[in-house]
Structure 1
Amino acid sequence: MKNSKIFFRTSMIAAALALATSQGYAAEQPLSDQVEALNQRIAQLEAQAAPSQFKNSQVSLYGSIRPTLIYSDADTGNSWDVGDAISQVGIKGSTEFADGWQAIVKAEWAVDVANSGNFGKGRQTYVAIASPYGQLAIGKQRPAQYSLIAEYVDIFNNAHSPFAYDREGAFFVDNFVTYKLETGSFTWMAGAQFNGDKGDTGADLVNIGVGYDTSALHLGLSYLTQDNLENGQVNGDNQTLGGVVAYTFDNGLYLAASYQDKQYNFDNQIQHGDRSGSTLDTALAYPLSNGYKIKLGYFQFKDGIEDISSLDYDGFNTTLEWNPLSNVRVHLEYLNKNYDNLGDDSAIAVGFRYDFNLNWKG
């Protein structure tokens, strides 16, 4: 900001000098009078300049880079691969334009660390108005189903965590309008997707939820309904009811469990017809000495299909983490996934994570 002011004033001096020369002041006035005239002209130009848009604002540039090296052992063969645990870069800004009222913008993209290093698809891109009466936002955002339910079991250094929720859960929703209100210990969220290019002319997805938080406890409940699309036409809907409980003990032990019941409803019967599935994700984290932490998880996915085409699976993972700094993480993970009708998979991964967050305030 200081450099920009210096540049602005230098530009004003140059402009004023040019004006003074063009009007013949340099030849007719003493030097002291010329300097005074220049200062007056600079003051006039500064007064006419547009006010800074950074007033009452703050901006943050943040990111998290998370490469991994993975050894996979599957029935189809063994392999080594460089992976990515969802690296991301984003920018967020806010401006207070009245007491308790803020305009907010956020844009966040995945970073393809495992391959070309390019920016990947957008994760969150929205504009919001926050007020004492809640926050209204439009754009690509997290749904209540993730923010109030899945986030509390999403503690592992893996792109597929939570491992059961990941199969069909909603992480980001585009064309999304959301409302969020915090009242005491409760957080109320509601959202609807409006994508005129798909489905019918109304909402394609509706998600509502409520969370309850104390210093150690989180409880969450959420309901989501989404259209089934078949060849661009609506064919019934999916309805998901989810819940989570998470608790942090005085010794640092963290326990969480999330469950979803999912109903698949079809207007025109397809191969497997109406069915009922579920997801279960559990998580445990316990801090050890010298910045080390142990994490454990068990997961189970059921799609409700009763024949050999079912993709039902369960499994577990265990992770040892080392945090030499608050924004630096090194981890070693073992993951095992057992399918009912497919070959089992297991993987060992070592990974790094570096977070940064740069803030400016006006």
Structure 2
Amino acid sequence: MKTRHISRKTALIIAMGLCASQAYAAEADALSTQVEALNQRIAQLEQNTAPSQFKNSQVSLYGSIRPALSYLDEGDEQTWDVRDALSRIGIKASTEFADGWQAIAQGEWSVDIANSGNFGKARQAYAAIASPYGQVGIGKQRPAQYTLVAEYVDIFNHGNSPYAYDHESPFFVDNFVTYQLVSNGLTFMAGAQVDGNKGDSNADMINLGLGYDTGALHLGLGYVTQDTLIDGNVGGDNQTLGGVAAYTFSNGLYVAVSYQDKQYNFDQSLTNADRSGSTLDTALAYPLNDEYKIKLGYFQFKDGIKGNDSADYDGFNTTLEWNPLSNVRVHLEYLDKSLENGNDDQAVTIGFRYDFNLTWQG
């Protein structure tokens, strides 16, 4: 009798287990069906979603803040003045849209620290397409004359550096169409300024440049031809041929020399107006240790004008730099500038420089 009672209980337990198993299996099948439907819906949404604009892209927000305090001695006047050594803030973005092909955009503006601290004029504002066959850009950009020649003597913490090149030569060019190709240590650059609001219907300026880099040596050549405007009309042209040689020795000593020959050509209505000028900029930098560096420079500008109207000048500068970090600089500079017609200038400047570059990669 007892055995029969146990058998009934066992049968009941087995029956309940079978029912529970069947119910669980049904729920599992339903859940699996729901998960599969959800996965299909997610896949459908992913296919319908537009690709992210940040995919295969890089965006950089960068800047360089460069305030300075100067004591200026201009012969008959001595003053203290807060100055700015070309502070700037910019943003640059690039997106790879095919193998070896990139779209590039950059905007950069000066920061007027010496006055109200407002954003100043645009330094660069352009868009470009880079490919294995070179880069083509349109907008306000650096010309070859600076990139391949003057930049290698532009090592000083001053808004007028390089001091001879600064007087008349281009740093940025607006309405500029450029082409650049880098291959096997050679860099070829060409640019044309096309501004329909001034001059004639042709290019207002053409700049060609060639650079060669091998190891610690850089050689650069640049040629510029630019219209001379007189009362809004083309009255001649300026032609500049310049070159630079720069080398860094094994002990860290850096030496660079840049020279430009400039021909001022005017039309026949201006008799005997043609003239020849030149610029000479030299730069030397030597690291005293990991944090301190000394810099020296000599410069000479000649405009080819005879007599009291000449703006010729020459001079030298020396700088002591302290670099506690790669993006932090403190400098003390002495500048002596002698003018052929006018008072000589001397200046002692202490300044700071803080660089930053924040980059996002997509």
Counterpart residue identity of residue 120, structure 2: G
Counterpart residue identity of residue 279, structure 1: T
| Structure 1 stretch displaced more, 47-56 or 292-301 | 47-56
The Cα offsets for residues 12-44 of structure 1, whole Å up to 9 and x where unpaired, read as xxxxxxxxxxxxxxxxxxxx9999988876765
SS of aligned partner of 2:146 = helix
SS of aligned partner of 2:71 = strand
Matched, 1:262 2:262: yes
Number of corresponding residues: 333
Question: Is the 1:225–1:237 contact (alpha carbons within 8 Å) kept by the matching residues of 2?
Answer: yes
Report the Cα distance in structure 1 between the residues aligned to 2:34 and 2:353, rounded to whole angstroms: 60
TM-score, normalised relative to structure 2:
0.88
Counterpart residue identity of residue 78, structure 1: Q
Matching residue of 1:196: 196
SS of aligned partner of 1:166 = helix
Matching residue of 2:78: 78
Cα deviation for residue 85 of structure 1 reads 0.4
Matching residue of 2:278: 278
SS of aligned partner of 2:308 = coil
Report the Cα distance in structure 2 between the residues aligned to 1:119 and 1:38, rounded to whole angstroms: 52
SS of aligned partner of 2:359 = strand
Report the Cα distance in structure 2 between the residues aligned to 1:280 and 1:343, rounded to whole angstroms: 21
Counterpart residue identity of residue 187, structure 2: T
TM-score, normalised relative to structure 1:
0.88
| Structure 1 stretch displaced more, 83-92 or 35-44 | 35-44
Report the Cα distance in structure 2 between the residues aligned to 1:38 and 1:77, rounded to whole angstroms: 81
Alignment of 1:1-362 (within 5 A): 45=45, 47-270=47-270, 273-362=273-362
Counterpart residue identity of residue 257, structure 1: V
Report the Cα distance in structure 2 between the residues aligned to 1:221 and 1:33, rounded to whole angstroms: 72
Report the Cα distance in structure 2 between the residues aligned to 1:112 and 1:34, rounded to whole angstroms: 62
SS of aligned partner of 2:307 = coil
Counterpart residue identity of residue 88, structure 1: R
SS of aligned partner of 2:309 = coil
Superposition RMSD in Å = 2.0
Counterpart residue identity of residue 79, structure 1: T
Counterpart residue identity of residue 309, structure 1: D
SS of aligned partner of 1:308 = helix
Task: Provide the identity percentage.
Answer: 73
Counterpart residue identity of residue 179, structure 2: Y
The ranges of structure 1 where at least 4 consecutive aligned residues each deviate by more than 2 angstroms after the TM superposition are 32-50, 268-272
Report the Cα distance in structure 2 between the residues aligned to 1:57 and 1:76, rounded to whole angstroms: 56
Question: Is the 1:299–1:314 contact (alpha carbons within 8 Å) kept by the matching residues of 2?
Answer: yes
Report the Cα distance in structure 1 between the residues aligned to 2:76 and 2:127, rounded to whole angstroms: 46
Report the Cα distance in structure 1 between the residues aligned to 2:351 and 2:37, rounded to whole angstroms: 64
Report the Cα distance in structure 2 between the residues aligned to 1:155 and 1:125, rounded to whole angstroms: 24
- CA shift in 2, pair 1:269/1:256, >3 Å: farther
SS of aligned partner of 1:202 = coil
Report the Cα distance in structure 2 between the residues aligned to 1:34 and 1:342, rounded to whole angstroms: 89
Question: Is the 1:272–1:305 contact (alpha carbons within 8 Å) kept by the matching residues of 2?
Answer: no
Cα deviation for residue 255 of structure 1 reads 0.3
Cα deviation for residue 76 of structure 1 reads 3.2
SS of aligned partner of 1:341 = coil
| Structure 1 stretch displaced more, 302-311 or 34-43 | 34-43
Cα deviation for residue 260 of structure 1 reads 0.3
Counterpart residue identity of residue 204, structure 1: D
Report the Cα distance in structure 2 between the residues aligned to 1:247 and 1:229, rounded to whole angstroms: 38
Structure 1 residue ranges without an equivalent (≥5): 1-31
Counterpart residue identity of residue 205, structure 1: M
- Larger gyration radius, structure 1 or structure 2: 2
